[in-house]
Structure 1
Amino acid sequence: MKSVPARAATWQARVGVVVCAWGLSAWACGAPVDCRASQEQWFYDLERSVSLGETRVDVAGPEPASFVALGVSPFLTGQALASSDIAFSGAQVWDDYGHPRAALGVDFAPVALADSSLTLDDYQHHRPYRFASRIQVSFAISKGESAQDQTTRFAPTFRIVFHEQRDPRVHRGPGSLQDCFERHVTPPTALRAQQAALDAQLQILDARMGDPALDDAERPALESRYAELEAQRDVIHAQYVTALQDTVRAGMKQCRDDPQVAAYTWNASGLAIGISPSFRDRNDQLGSIAPRGLVTYATGAIGFDVGGTKRAYVPTFFGKYVQVLGQVLYRLNEPLPDPQDQKRYTDADELVTSMRLRGGTSPLNADLELAWIHDWFDGEPNDRFGKVSAGMDAHLAKGTWLSVSVGRTFERGPLPDELSAGISIKRALLH
């Protein structure tokens, strides 16, 4: 039989584990137990009780993946960040031949939208969940508006964001979602402390009831007390979960479009890959749209602060204001305007390599893009030319982004260089 001091030491060790797990006692955390800082623990509880969809943030307005595939975004080079769970876009562009074209599109993240049981904790701590949540599906349709080009084009696009360096829902540094909550909301620590105290008492009673030396006459009273404390604990736990959910709603009102979160995220490093079959009709054909080719592309973004995910992160000048994007896009067996006769479309392959420099801030940044385009026509001369574009991206309102560009082709050989332009607006549904 254990002595009284030995049993007391056992109970104290068990209570120390429980209290340390809740992050409420310095002496408990002094034991050899892996526990998190007390001021952070409430946010870990919050992550386990809130769905991922409740924490959508308005941090970027990437071009719709299908706009990139169709070539109807203001810039050839897309962004490498994940888009919102669902967003709608419209665009008006003038292409490299000066032909006007209008487009409408929708982007959505099927896993993030369909799986309401996916929590913020799942997203943050489990890479497969995070990978699946960043899968995007996009649909867009565009219509030519000139006498030379009246084709209708449609693209269903599948896009995967493999890497996003400074995801505010994952990292803990300045500009992260946790940092924003700590700046704007008061956590329900009182309820949390009550629950931890009840857990500690239950642990002590459990240890006593499991002691072989316990007198049978004492057991009924201990069991009654245990049931009473357990009922109290269940009530406090329900109140704590409700308080966490209220905290999420209050916090997201402030953090959904928080300037510090946006500044932390807008120019981060990332990598995305897209693939899209393309469907279109032809100027000289009537009837329904038919499959015409395949588009694949890879987009990479380079942010200049590799330490941006650390708690002690202090951004440099380039880390605050600059981002470089690069993209390689290949069109396989797609109808393209014949350089010798722009009213006629010819099946061709096209390679587009481009680089885009962004400078500014999340609400407003200027863009400069340089691209080289090579078209291969079967049995006809190839078309090779460069293109330079300039423009801007602007955050107009919560969930609303505008992109504008003006460009010009160059080094086009016997063909005249053409002006091009584009404007698009994107509206994300955040809640």
Structure 2
Amino acid sequence: MADDLSRDVQLLDRDLVAVRRDLHRHPELGYTEVRTSQIVAERLRALGLSVRTGVAGTGVIADLEGERAGGTLLLRADMDALPVEEQPGHDFPSETRGVMHACGHDAHVSALLGAATLLAARRGRIAGRVRFLFQPAEELAGGALQMIEAGALDGVDQALGAHVISPLPFGVVATRPGPFFAGIDTFEIAVVGKAGHGGLPHLSVDPIYTAAQVVTALQSIVSRETKPGEPLVVSISAISGGNAANVVVERVALQGTVRWFSQASREHALDRIQGIASGVCSALRASCEFRVLSSSPVTANAAAPVDLVAAAARATQRAEVMDPGPLTVSEDFSEFTSRVPGCLFTVGAGGPTAAPHHHHAFDLDERAIGLIAEIFTRATLSALRPE
């Protein structure tokens, strides 16, 4: 039987979907989420909350004070989109060429605004403070740390974050205590050769050919140097260099990521990436430059917040909770959980046939938006319940 909260979520649902679709039409990359943060701030101020803007550039923080003293619970949503050209199957496509919400952050923003609306109407049931945090640049693995450095965690006792997850259908909430999402290092390898004429390759050093051999050789780190069963992923996902068919270019840049769950695996992978790239380049008369662009630790959930979220999800009466095991995707929400007890949970918004995250046809089951808002709200009312 639906309670007053479930009914209020149903009444909010149409507005939350409209907000998500508006944000989807106007995606913004990391640290450029100006329009998004303006919409967020306006809605939070309309709820009577104390709002701070410009945190870490485009981040927004708002505090809801309960009617009694107590602890502080942080609820977080990420706001940034991805540099992906959308090929939509719906009538609200991105209006920004080469940028789209391909990971569901538009839904996360809408859901947290929904939770703020629901909780502001229940201020009398809160002992303590709810901090709503809208974060820039999650996809760049930097926004969370910058917000923390700007004071986002000051006085916070616990932190909760949510993410839609494409492979799971609506009605499934996945989380677990302990390691949940992998740590990540984003790196770049610059392969430097000697420019020349495409018809006289012997007078040049071809960095494109050399880069191709580097990409192939790096696959040995997981397949031949890592113990079977040890979760480690090394991916090269971007290659750039050259713009003419008859020119041997001087330089090629490779960018990729390492996903890991142990510090030993991380250190080994980063060391071997550099060593293999250097060795292959040297053998082919080229040179290389290696650098780590950004890093985030493993997202490790604390047991008590996981139990809090699981109970809240079950209380909605429209979700089952499962432990999917550690996943080799990454989230800089880990910066929060490495400092305070917290829980990142995922909400099914697709299914086996859905397009994966970061895909040009990514979409989501919009029922997940209201479900996330309801879980946030129920978990908060439980965590900050007056004695």
- Same fold, judged at TM 0.5 (above): no
TM range (shorter): under 0.3
Whose Rg is larger? 1
**Structure with greater strand share of residues:** 1
TM-score, structure 1 as length reference: 0.21
TM superposition score normalised by structure 2: 0.23
Which of 1 and 2 has higher RCO (CA within 8 Å, sep 6+)?
A: 2
